């Protein structure tokens, strides 16, 4: 049997409306992919078998055949989502208790995608076609329903969802394919408050009323295999939760931490990174830390390695993509990704006015500045550099004509290209050495705040 990992959504700043997207309720449950064929299985994101904890969902065997479905298991209490009852059911091992809870707090499986039919993967089909197949091949039952969605009116749908007590909505591109295990900008989660799932790597010593528990939890997220510090959270706990957590922590203590960037003055008790908690926050700082975090709950349904940095790291190519119609222009769509070798490119751009675009590879995209008079080549020369939207890595090789009526219409040529060494990259100052055919040596970008937030000075510095 072929097992799938669920496709994941990126976070969006605010609700929006678009004829190219559909919008669904964001359910607060356990993500589960079901396999209905000779063997029946419902598996969590961690590939844990859930059919024994939710026996009522065996109803699926009567409602569909030879199919693989994606959905969310939820529990409703008096018409409201009850996540704690859901987790209680998922953690129960007693057959007698499982039977009792399945009658007292029955689960509902909300299905929103189809991944396979009669052994044939359907991942590459557009979402709209997969939705039609869902309606054709899956019947609804007492415990199984199909997700209701609307087209275009995302803002109104979001407001209606929030009024009903839901945590938000999911926006999905109509033409999106299904990307197993990937967090894609084709799916966006839009919530009333921003949240992310973090790994608990330790805690600080409690003081005064908290001297018997802890002060704050040390949080981290994984960037590939490396855990990175993203902040600490000390609010949102009840006293009972804190006492319960400190008992759990006793069995997880280790001598040294493995969290990069957690250089804190407080005494930290380090823990094995085995616990996940959901944290609400206001925004992300320039240093990549959670601003005004607040503890929401433990997430016992998620594995630590699932808590990745891309939950809070924005897709910086969204602005670039929003300005271009890729069915008309040959410019690359691109995907944010890491590159080991840093390089730069300067484009000669014959748009409405001739200018030059400096692009530096950084964090998987090309950071870009428009230079009206071209890069300085003599030591001491200064040129205005206007910060523009990030471009995809593939743009470093782009040359061609951007059609009329498109953003940046005109001829684009590569004027210079090569590698560069990053010496310092701060909020208001970037220093780098370039090795190109025309640009060579030390350059400095200084933010020119008096002339506007996007304006910088590009200076050819001394060697």
Predicted pLDDT of residue 2: 87
Q: Please check the confidence at residue 416 and state whether its pLDDT lies above 90.
A: yes
Tens of pLDDT, residues 304-314 = 998 988 888 75
CA 121, CA 35: separation in Å to the nearest integer?
A: 13
Predicted pLDDT of residue 318: 56
Q: Please check the confidence at residue 280 and state whether its pLDDT lies above 80.
A: yes
Q: Which range among 47-56, 150-159, 283-292, 402-411 shows the weakest confidence by mean pLDDT?
A: 283-292
Predicted pLDDT of residue 1: 75
What is the pLDDT confidence band of residue 176, given thresholds at 50, 70 and 90? very high
Catalytic status, residue 325: no
Tens of pLDDT, residues 137-163 = 999 999 999 999 999 999 999 999 988
Domain residue spans in the chain? 8-192, 195-311, 318-460
Higher pLDDT, 322 or 75: 75
Tens of pLDDT, residues 224-276 = 788 989 999 999 999 999 999 999 999 999 988 888 677 676 789 999 999 99
Q: Which residues of 301-314 are buried (b: 16+ CB within 10 A; e: fewer)?
A: bbbbebbbbbbbbe
Fold type of domain 8-192: D-amino Acid Aminotransferase; Chain A, domain 1 (3.30.470)
Q: Which range among 137-151, 335-349, 431-445 shows the weakest confidence by mean pLDDT?
A: 335-349
By percentage, how much of the chain surpasses pLDDT 70?
92
CB burial of residue 109 (10 Å; 0-12, 13-18, 19+): buried
Predicted pLDDT of residue 341: 52
Same topology between domain 8-192 and domain 195-311: no
H or E, element range at 242: helix 239-249
User: Quick one: CA dihedral 350, 351, 355, 358, positive or negative?
Assistant: negative
Number of H helices and E strands in the chain, helices first, is 7, 29
Predicted pLDDT of residue 194: 83
Q: Please check the confidence at residue 282 and state whether its pLDDT lies above 70.
A: yes
Contact predicate 364/337, CB 8 Å = yes
Contact predicate 366/393, CB 8 Å = yes
Q: What is the rounded average pLDDT of the residues 199-215?
A: 93
Q: Give ∠ CA 100-101-107 in degrees, rounded to 5.
A: 135
CA 374, CA 385: separation in Å to the nearest integer?
A: 9
Sequence-ordered list of residues with C-beta below 8 angstroms from that of 208, at least 6 positions apart, any chain: none
Catalytic residue (choose from 19, 26, 244, 272): 26
Predicted pLDDT of residue 320: 57
What is the pLDDT confidence band of residue 28, given thresholds at 50, 70 and 90? confident
Tens of pLDDT, residues 81-132 = 888 899 899 989 999 999 999 999 999 999 999 999 999 999 999 999 999 9
What is the pLDDT confidence band of residue 340, given thresholds at 50, 70 and 90? very low
What is the pLDDT confidence band of residue 201, given thresholds at 50, 70 and 90? very high
Helix/strand/coil percentages in the chain, nearest 5: 20, 45, 40
Partners of 215 in the beta sheet?
none
- The two tokens of residue 8 are 């994941």
Q: Please check the confidence at residue 319 and state whether its pLDDT lies above 60.
A: no
CA 420, CA 434: separation in Å to the nearest integer?
A: 4
The DSSP-derived string for 421-463 is EEEEE-SSEEEEEEE-SS-EEEEEEEE-GGG-TTEEEEEE---
Tens of pLDDT, residues 358-379 = 999 987 788 999 999 999 999 9
Q: What is the rounded average pLDDT of the residues 279-283?
A: 85
Predicted pLDDT of residue 202: 94
Higher pLDDT, 59 or 318: 59
What is the pLDDT confidence band of residue 444, given thresholds at 50, 70 and 90? very high
Predicted pLDDT of residue 419: 93
End-to-end, the C-alpha distance of the chain in Å comes to 62
CATH 3.40.630.30, applies to 195-311: no
What is the pLDDT confidence band of residue 325, given thresholds at 50, 70 and 90? low
What is the pLDDT confidence band of residue 14, given thresholds at 50, 70 and 90? confident
Contact predicate 262/232, CB 8 Å = no
Flag whether the pTM goes above 0.75. no
Q: Please check the confidence at residue 425 and state whether its pLDDT lies above 90.
A: no
């Amino acid at each position: 049997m072929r097992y799938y990992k669920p496709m994941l959504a990126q976070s969006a700043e605010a609700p929006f409306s678009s004829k190219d997207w559909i919008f669904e309720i964001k359910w607060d449950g356990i993500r589960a992919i079901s396999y209905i064929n000779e063997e029946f299985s419902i598996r969590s994101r961690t590939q844990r078998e859930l059919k024994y904890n939710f026996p009522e969902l065996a109803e699926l065997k009567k409602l569909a055949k030879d199919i693989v479905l994606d959905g969310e298991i939820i529990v409703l209490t008096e018409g409201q989502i009850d996540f704690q009852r859901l987790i209680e059911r998922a953690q129960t091992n007693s057959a007698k208790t499982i039977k009792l809870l399945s009658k007292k707090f029955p689960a509902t499986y909300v299905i929103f995608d189809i991944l396979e039919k009669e052994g044939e993967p359907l991942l590459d089909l557009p979402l709209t076609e997969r939705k039609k197949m869902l309606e054709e091949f899956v019947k609804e039952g007492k415990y199984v329903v199909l997700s209701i969605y609307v087209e275009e009116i995302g803002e109104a749908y979001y407001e209606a969802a929030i009024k009903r007590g839901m945590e938000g909505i999911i926006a999905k591109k109509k033409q999106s394919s299904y990307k197993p295990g990937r967090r894609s900008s084709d799916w966006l989660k839009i919530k009333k408050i921003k949240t992310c799932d973090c790994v608990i790597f330790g805690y600080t010593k409690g003081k005064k009323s908290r001297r018997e528990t802890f002060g704050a939890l040390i949080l981290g997220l994984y960037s590939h295999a490396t855990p990175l510090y993203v902040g600490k959270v000390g609010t949102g706990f009840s006293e009972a939760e804190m006492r319960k957590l400190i008992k759990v922590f006793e069995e997880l203590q280790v001598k040294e931490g493995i969290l990069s960037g957690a250089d804190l003055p407080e005494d930290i008790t380090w823990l094995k990174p085995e616990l996940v908690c959901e944290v609400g926050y206001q925004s992300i700082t320039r240093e990549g830390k959670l601003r005004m975090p607040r503890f929401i709950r433990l997430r016992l349904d998620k594995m630590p390695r699932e808590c990745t940095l891309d939950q809070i790291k924005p897709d910086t190519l969204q602005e670039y993509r929003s300005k271009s119609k890729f069915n008309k222009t040959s410019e690359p769509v691109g995907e944010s990704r890491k590159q080991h070798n840093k390089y730069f490119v300067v484009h000669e751009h014959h748009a409405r006015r001739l200018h030059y675009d400096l692009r530096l590879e950084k964090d998987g995209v090309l950071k870009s500045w428009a230079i009206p008079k071209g890069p300085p080549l003599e030591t001491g020369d200064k040129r205005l550099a206007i910060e523009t939207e990030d471009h995809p890595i593939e743009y470093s090789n782009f040359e061609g004509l951007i059609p009329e009526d498109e953003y940046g219409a005109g001829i684009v040529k590569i004027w210079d290209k090569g590698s560069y060494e990053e010496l310092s990259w701060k909020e208001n100052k970037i220093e780098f050495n370039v090795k190109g055919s025309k640009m060579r040596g030390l350059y400095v970008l200084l933010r020119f705040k008096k002339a506007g937030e996007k304006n910088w000075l590009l200076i050819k510095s001394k060697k």
